[in-house]
Amino acid sequence: MKILITGGRGMLGRTLQKKLSEHEITIADLPEWDITDDIAFSRKLSDAAPDLVVHCAAMTDVDACESDREKAFLLNETGSRNVALACKMNSARLIAISTDYVFGGEPPQEPWAWGEGDLPRPRTVYGESKLGGERMVTMLLPDAVVLRIAWLYGAGGPSFVHTMAKLGAQEGAPLKVVNDQRGNPTSARVVADAIKFIISRPEVRGVVHCTCENQCSWFDLTVELFRLLGLRRGVVPCTTAEFPRPAPRPKNSALKKGVLNVLGYRTPDWKDALADFAVEEFGKKGVEA
Ligand SMILES: NC(=O)c1ccc[n+]([C@@H]2O[C@H](COP(=O)([O-])OP(=O)(O)OC[C@H]3O[C@@H](n4cnc5c(N)ncnc54)[C@H](OP(=O)(O)O)[C@@H]3O)[C@@H](O)[C@H]2O)c1
């Protein structure tokens, strides 16, 4: 199969390249490919003639999106529209990657996880612009898959896991880590495996949630990472109010995997996926201090 990956040099794109190596892969990333240039992108996609496009390209810096709304919407909404239109014109199947941050409202009860049918209500420019992208994709290409993933880490980073492995290897006062935001830490490999599964099931369409199993806080994730890497730096829980960021993070953005579960597809527990990743990525001591 011919597969084109937008943002193919990013964190998820790199893992996908490896996982899908039995296919003919085209990497569509800056500077040669620009999803915001509708005509040039469509022409290039037509030349590449992919059977399938995995759309990873995005403005992913959540705080930077808050201060540059125009760029966030250009990339995440208009860019996704351009990708969907090019797929439509070239009869390519589309799997468009989206995010748990399309949810932002207070969850009705704890522990909570958002289903594919729940109404998204983003609290950030990043979430709003990604939701705009989702709507463009499903409007233009009803057969497309919108794959919402969350709290991603993968080889080479950057990610929260990489930042914490680095900080954990440094000497210093105990690290304060937010304990009142919950989600599903998810390995890029787990997402890439799920994408392989979806590729093998052409009937899958619409919104699909894909994360590792079970949820935790950023504090829980840090404690488990340090345990796996044998890092001794202290970690203490703190509240969101103690660690303000430009973009207000959702209190709970954990996702329920209704579609994948109905199809009998299971993802690993977040602790097992992190264990598979951590030592291989960082060695026993974390990254260099
Ligand atoms: N990271 C997470 O925690 C997370 C969580 C949930 C969902 N997601 C979603 O997962 C997807 C992949 O995320 P990621 O972390 O792998 O992202 P990433 O590492 O930031 O990769 C995005 C790639 O897209 C490229 N790109 C940016 N603007 C482009 C343009 N105009 N045309 C073509 N390519 C462009 C980037 O190039 P430059 O580096 O040169 O800008 C980069 O190579 C995104 O859709 C993201 O919204 C991520």
Establish if 219 belongs to a structural domain. no
Beta carbon of 178 within 6 Å of any ligand 1 atom = no
Task: Tell me if 281 is assigned to some domain.
Answer: no
pLDDT at 245: 87
Beta bridge mates, 177: 237
Global pTM?
0.97
Residue 13 lies in a domain: yes
Q: What is the pLDDT of residue 288?
A: 61
Nearest atom (ligand 1) to Cα of 36: 31
Within-domain flag for 286? no
- Is 146 within 8 Å of 134 (Cβ atoms)? yes
Query: Does ligand 1 come within 6 angstroms of the Cβ of 186?
Result: no
* Neighbour-count burial of 140, counting CB atoms closer than 10 A to its CB (0-12 exposed, 13-18 middle, 19+ buried): middle
Report the alpha-carbon distance of residue 274 to residue 276 in Å, rounded.
Answer: 5
The tens-digit pLDDT sequence of the chain (289 residues) is: 999 999 999 999 999 999 999 999 999 999 999 999 999 999 999 999 999 999 999 999 999 999 999 999 999 999 999 999 999 999 999 999 999 999 987 776 777 899 999 999 999 999 999 999 999 999 999 999 999 999 999 999 999 999 999 999 999 999 999 999 999 999 999 999 999 999 999 999 999 999 999 999 999 999 999 999 999 999 999 999 998 888 888 889 999 999 999 999 999 999 999 999 998 899 865 666 5
Query: Of the residues 18, 30, 184, which should be mutated to test ligand 1's pocket, given the most ligand atoms within 8 Å of the CB?
Result: 30
Please tell me the residue having the least CA distance from ligand 1 atom 21.
10
Locus of tokens 């760029």: 71
Question: 273: CA distance to ligand 1 center in Å?
Answer: 21
Residue 103 tokens read as: 């949810």
Which residue range(s) make up the domain with 31?
2-156+184-214+253-268
Alpha-carbon distance 243 to 280, whole Å? 30
Catalytic residues: 126
Say how many domains are in the chain: 1
Q: Is 149 in the pocket of ligand 1 (CB under 6 A)?
A: yes
Decide if 95 is inside a domain.
yes
Q: Residue 237 is inside which H or E element, if any?
A: strand 235-238
Residue 160 alpha carbon, nearest atom of ligand 1: 3
**Å from CA of 78 to ligand 1 middle:** 15
Determine whether the shortest distance from the Cβ of 58 to ligand 1 is under 6 A. Answer: yes
CATH at 139:
3.40.50.720
Show the tokens assigned to 177: 């880590």
- Quick one: the chain helix, strand, coil %, rounded to 5? 40, 20, 40
> Domain for residue 116, yes or no?
yes
Using alpha carbons, select from 181, 172, 160 the residue that is nearest to residue 239.
181
Query: What is the predicted pLDDT for the residue at 289?
Result: 54
96 within domain boundaries: yes
Closest C-alpha among 158, 130, 30 to residue 72 = 130
Note whether residue 227 is domain-resident.
no
Instruction: Return d(Cα 98, Cα 209) in angstroms, integer.
Output: 9
